[in-house]
Amino acid sequence: MPIELKLPRFVGIENRERAAAIVPERSVSGRTLVLLIAIMTFLSGVTLGGVVLVQKSAIAWSSDVGREMTIQIRPVEGEVMDSNLRTAVALAEATPGVASARALTLEESQKLLEPWLGAGLDLTAIDIPRLVVVQLADPAEADVDKLQRDLSAVKGASLDTHAAWRQQLNVMAGTIVASGLLVLTLIVVATVLAIIFATRGTMASNREIVDVLHFIGASNSFIAGEFQGRFLTIGFRGGIFGGLAALLFFLLVGVAAGSMVPQEAGQQLGILFGRFALGIDGMFGILAVVPVIAALTAITSRMTVRRFLQKTS
């Protein structure tokens, strides 16, 4: 047979589409893995969002409560309440770091008791403790000790700095945040394990491709790169689905929480427990999970593939 290498070019070849992937998409347990990664991303996003919400609420509440102190003056026989109130307000206003001090009126004080005693009761016959609300200009600068000392001159007066409340809140918020981070770590570990198993399965089912690539002189890093590319795509796809689902979840829960309780009660709950709004930073946090999960998928699969190739080649 004569060798004739000067043959006319094949016309269609010039417009050939981009070369097909060496590792076929369908051979990498595609849909199952995309679903798995989507679920893991969703769980990570929800956990992260929850942590952000708790932390934000705790910081906001702690900061609000920290800017306020309360002086309580109990009724003492022989003492004139109004006079004691004026003295307490004057002492508070004279304390460094205090922005303002205001005694609650009798009506306001009675209103505070309504939740316990009910509305419409005539409380004029009863001596009830009275409160002075002290707003601090700067909690760090406020001389609480001085105020405490000064108030000892007023009979029946005591100062509540809300420190116990704040401490309790911080402990609770810290516990929730730490638990959330632990859950997040476990989700990441579970994701890595799932990807390792999926990669091993993929390598076993693509053994023929790996063998052929070895025979034709492909390096381990080339083969690992081909598989990594596939897994990166799957990681991104699953991550985007899961991340968007987590954002949607917070959006829907936020809307549902707002519509389930009356507006007034909603405002009070908002003050107490936070607004159930992630904010831009929380949303970016959840979106940042997507590339992290995708990168984690790609890196884990590459390491698994390289270990597999080192064992087999």
- Residues at the interface with another protein (CB under 8 A): 1, 3-5, 7-10, 12-14, 16, 19-20, 22, 24, 208-209, 211-220, 222, 313
Q: Dihedral through CA 225, CA 228, CA 229, CA 233, nearest 10?
A: 180
Smallest gap from Cβ 211 to another protein, in A, equals: 8
Say if residue 165 is exposed, middle or buried (CB neighbours under 10 Å; 0-12, 13-18, 19+). Answer: middle
Of 11 and 280, the one with the shorter C-beta distance to another protein is 11
Of 159 and 213, the one with the shorter C-beta distance to another protein is 213
Of 4 and 122, the one with the shorter C-beta distance to another protein is 4
Smallest gap from Cβ 309 to another protein, in A, equals: 10
Contact between 62 and 171 under an 8 Å Cβ cutoff? The reply is no
Of 210 and 290, the one with the shorter C-beta distance to another protein is 210
Smallest gap from Cβ 231 to another protein, in A, equals: 18
Rounded-to-integer distance, Cα 77 and Cα 80, Å: 8
Smallest gap from Cβ 7 to another protein, in A, equals: 4
Smallest gap from Cβ 36 to another protein, in A, equals: 24
Closest CA to 23 of 253, 256, 238, 199: 199
Give the strand pairing for 98-103 and 68-73.
Answer: unpaired
Q: Which two tokens stand for residue 230?
A: 């596939």
Of 59 and 218, the one with the shorter C-beta distance to another protein is 218
